[in-house]
Structure 1
Amino acid sequence: MSDDPTQVREFFGARAARWDSRFPDDGPVYAAAVADIGLRAGDAVLDAGCGTGRALPALRAAVGPAGMVIGADLTPEMLAEAVRAGRDGAATLLLTDVARLPLRDGALDAVFGAGLISHLAAPAEDLRELARVVRPGGRLALFHPIGRAALAARHGRRITDGDLRAEPNLRPLLAGSGWELGSYTDEDDRYLAVAVRRTE
């Protein structure tokens, strides 16, 4: 699908009410991914493109009551579904584009992005914006509940050489945007790339 913000908003807005029912079994894989990114009690974390907020309870559990969890999405209908599901109790929800975050430099310890990178209008610039709001040594986790091959098969497509999520493409993209790719997993039942904010 398109990475134009207006079209992304329209795509997800039209599907928001049915989103969680389409993927009812994803909760445990979200929780497992959050567990693997090394959050600590008291950390500040952003769920970038949080959608209906499926990661928010796990993020809250990881950082505890003293931590800060922010869920940001540009689709009002998705955030409304997060509220309807009661997930706003785990986080502060922001209606905003992750390309222009209303956060100060270095405010966060980590960013979690489920299915995010495929929908960024300007990937290098948008990843740079995420780097801006994360302290040096902080982390970025790019996640999807299924791997690239399984996702392509679900949509009746093949993986292309230009897929930004492929390690040979992702590593230099991150490096040019203030991140260093640390770990990379692309299996049928999980995609998780974790990068560290470089000290510059």
Structure 2
Amino acid sequence: MADDHTHVQEFFGARAADWDTRFPDDGPAFAAAVGALGLRPGDAVLDAGCGTGRALPALREAVGERGSVLGIDVTPGMLEAAVRAGRDRNGQLLLGDVARLPVRSQSLDAVFGSGLISHLPQPQENLGELARVVRPGGLLALFHPIGRAALAARQGRRITPDDLRAEPVLRPLLASSGWRLVSYTDEDSRFLAVAVRQD
């Protein structure tokens, strides 16, 4: 586990300072993805692997002042960048691990995870931990501002059939972790999988 987290911290730590300037136009895509969660005023939501907090303003707007927004990330530099951008005003930021969330069971209405799935060290167990903290019927949104093919092209690689975000892989992975996939979109302009927490 430590080695997995060290890799993630090194990867994102080296990129934290200029992350937002590298991807400056993602705001509308984040807002649209948050909209897919159907959050209501007063809801409690977690941004898992929140990075620089780009989803936090949209999450705050969705749940209102009475709602609760928590952003958690394993990389200190990302959280520092979120604070510099003023996004800590939209929610509480915590340095922590999605494998062991400091959150009560069934206390949240939804979880949002941008770019999260490909960085989970133990996907089945980690998605199960996300399920633990969400009430039955609550939602999980796994998002990326570009689709699988566009991301692979950006990184100079090919999509492989064992990609965790491929629907035939993701659907049973979610099912084994306490979730049921209810919608799946993979197009150049975005990747968005929404799942509901099973009873």
Instruction: State the TM-score, normalizing by the size of structure 1.
Output: 0.98
List structure 1 runs of 4+ shifted beyond 2 angstroms: none
- With normalisation by structure 2, the TM-score equals 0.98
Aligned pairs for 1:13-162 (under 5 A) are 13-162=13-162
Q: Which amino acid aligns with 1:163?
A: D
Alignment-mate amino acid for residue 176 of structure 1:
S
In the aligned structure 2, how far is the partner of 1:54 from the partner of 1:195?
Answer: 21
Separation in structure 2 between the aligned mates of residue 141 and residue 69 of structure 1, nearest angstrom:
15
Letter in 2 for 1:113: G
Shift of 1:36: 1.5
Q: Which amino acid aligns with 1:18?
A: D
Deviation at 1:63, TM superposition (A): 0.3
SS in 2 for 1:105: coil
- How far off is 1:35 after superposition? 1.0
Please state whether the residue corresponding to 1:184 is helix, strand or coil.
strand
Shift of 1:174: 0.2
Deviation sequence 1:74-119 (CA, Å, 0-9, x none): 0000000000000000000010010000111001000000000000
Tell me how far apart the structure 1 counterparts of residues 123 and 178 of structure 2 sit (CA, whole Å). 12
CA distance in 2, matches of 1:132, 1:37: 18
**Is 2:183 the partner of 1:183?**
yes
Structure 1 position 5, deviation (Å) = 1.1
Deviation at residue 141 of structure 1 after TM alignment: 0.2
Q: Please state whether the residue corresponding to 1:98 is helix, strand or coil.
A: coil
Partner of residue 167, structure 2:
167
Alpha-carbon separation, structure 2, partners of 1:78 and 1:143 = 18
